[in-house]
């Protein structure tokens, strides 16, 4: 019996200001993957905001598309450093729709990001994973060096200095 056909790899697209539809689809993928679809939809930014964000030199979104539909993607930020003339890249979100997982899409997205960062002279990419998120930890462990750090959220304060 012949093996089933191998799925065609998705198109990986670095989103630009005109890519509002795929960006909104990527927001849907993130909302579903992170268990927040209703909350995300209620607070979604408008077109002008997304166009400005996608045109910013400090924001990157890469979508994985199959037949014109986003099935995964990543989004993150270029962080210009002050102590040296260089930048880092922080992967803020990375997700693949459940029906499309275990096919190498997340790895392909990171590999595409690695090439983009090299083209832009960015010296390192970093990402956080939550304790217990074993698939993410396995993915990132296969691609980089693990650092155990603590993360703190500090709320802004009202008032003047």
Residues 92-125: pLDDT tens digits? 999 999 999 999 999 999 999 999 999 999 999 9
C-alpha distances in Å from residue 18, one per residue of 25, 61, 131, 140, 160: 14, 13, 36, 31, 39
Instruction: Check residue 123 and report its DSSP letter.
Output: -
- For the domain covering 11-143, report its CATH number: 3.40.630.30
Answer yes or no: are the C-beta atoms of 136 and 99 closer than 8 Å: no
Instruction: Check residue 99 and report its DSSP letter.
Output: G
* Domain definitions of the chain by residue range: 11-143
Q: Kindly report the pTM of this predicted structure.
A: 0.84
- Quick: pLDDT tens for 30-59: 999 988 876 666 788 999 999 999 999 999
């Amino acid at each position: 019996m012949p093996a089933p056909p191998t799925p065609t790899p998705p198109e990986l697209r670095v989103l630009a200001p005109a890519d509002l539809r795929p960006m909104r689809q990527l927001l849907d993928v993130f909302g579903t993957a992170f268990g927040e679809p209703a909350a995300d939809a209620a607070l979604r930014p408008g077109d002008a905001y997304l166009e400005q964000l996608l045109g910013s030199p400090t924001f990157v979104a890469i979508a994985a598309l199959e037949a014109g539909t986003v099935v995964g993607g990543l989004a993150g930020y270029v962080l210009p450093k002050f102590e040296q003339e260089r930048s880092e890249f922080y992967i803020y979100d990375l997700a693949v729709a459940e029906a499309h997982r275990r096919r190498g899409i997340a790895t392909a997205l990171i590999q595409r990001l690695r090439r983009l960062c090299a083209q832009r002279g960015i010296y390192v990419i970093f990402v956080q994973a939550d304790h217990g998120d074993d698939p993410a930890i396995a993915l990132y462990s296969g691609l980089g060096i693990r650092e155990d750090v603590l993360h703190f959220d500090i709320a802004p304060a009202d008032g003047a200095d």
